[in-house]
Amino acid sequence: MQNRHQSQAAVKARTENTALRWWVGGSAMLVGMTLLASQAFADSHVEIIESHAFNEYGEIKYGPDFTHLDYVNPDAPKGGEISISTSGTFDSMNPWATLEGTPGALSSAVWERMMTATSDEVGTSYCLLCETIEYPEDQSWVIFNLRKNVTFSDGTPMTSADMIYTHELMREQSTPSFRQGLVSLVSEYEALDDYTVKFTFAEDAPTRGRIGQMGAALVMQKAWFEETGARLDESSLEVSPGTAPYTAGSVDVGRQIIYERNPDYWGNDLPINQGRNNFDSIRIEYFADTAAAFEAFKAGEFTFRRENSSINWATAYDFPAIDNGWVTRKELADGTLPAATGFVFNLRDPKFEDKRVREAIGLVYNFTWTNDNLQYGLFQQRESFWENDRLKAVGLPEGRELEILEEYRDQLPPEIFTEDAKVPHTSGERPLDRANLRRALGLMEEAGWTTGDDGLLRNADGDTLDVEFLETRQSFDRIINPYIENLKRLGVNVTYNRVDPSQYQARTQSNDFEMIFGFYVNGLQEGRGFSQRYGCEDKDDVFNPAGYCSEVIDAIGERIAKADDAAEMNALITAADRIMRNEYFMVPVWYLGKNWTAYFDMYEHPENLPEFGLGHLDYWWFNQEKYEALKAAGALR
Single-letter amino acid, residue 40: A
Work out the widest C-alpha separation in the chain, in whole angstroms: 88
In percent, the amount of the chain with pLDDT more than 70 equals: 93
Q: Is 206 exposed, middle or buried (0-12, 13-18, 19+ CB in 10 A)?
A: buried
Spatial CA neighbour of 242 closest among 279, 273, 267: 267
- Kindly tell me if the per-residue pLDDT of 283 is higher than 70: yes
Q: How confident is the model at residue 304 (pLDDT cuts 50, 70, 90)?
A: very high
Whether the CB-CB separation of 214 and 164 falls below 8 Å is answered with no
- Kindly tell me if the per-residue pLDDT of 13 is higher than 70: no
- CB atoms under 10 Å from CB of 536, counted, come to 16
Task: Output the DSSP codes for 504-524.
Answer: HHHHHHTT--SEEEEEE---S
Pairing of strands 81-87, 281-287: parallel
Count, in order, helices (H) and strands (E) of the chain.
Answer: 20, 26
- Kindly tell me if the per-residue pLDDT of 238 is higher than 70: yes
Mean pLDDT of 514-527: 94
Task: Output the DSSP codes for 286-338.
Answer: EESSHHHHHHHHHTTSS-EEE---HHIIIII--SHHHHTT-EEEEEEE--SPP
- Kindly tell me if the per-residue pLDDT of 330 is higher than 80: yes
Question: What is the Cβ-side half-sphere exposure of residue 106, based on CA atoms within 13 angstroms?
Answer: 26
Pairing of strands 594-600, 457-458: unpaired
- Kindly tell me if the per-residue pLDDT of 324 is higher than 70: yes
In percent, the amount of the chain with pLDDT more than 90 equals: 81
Q: What is the pLDDT of residues 498-515, one digit of tens each?
A: 999 889 989 999 999 999
Q: What is the DSSP letter of 103?
A: B
The average confidence (pLDDT) of the chain is 91
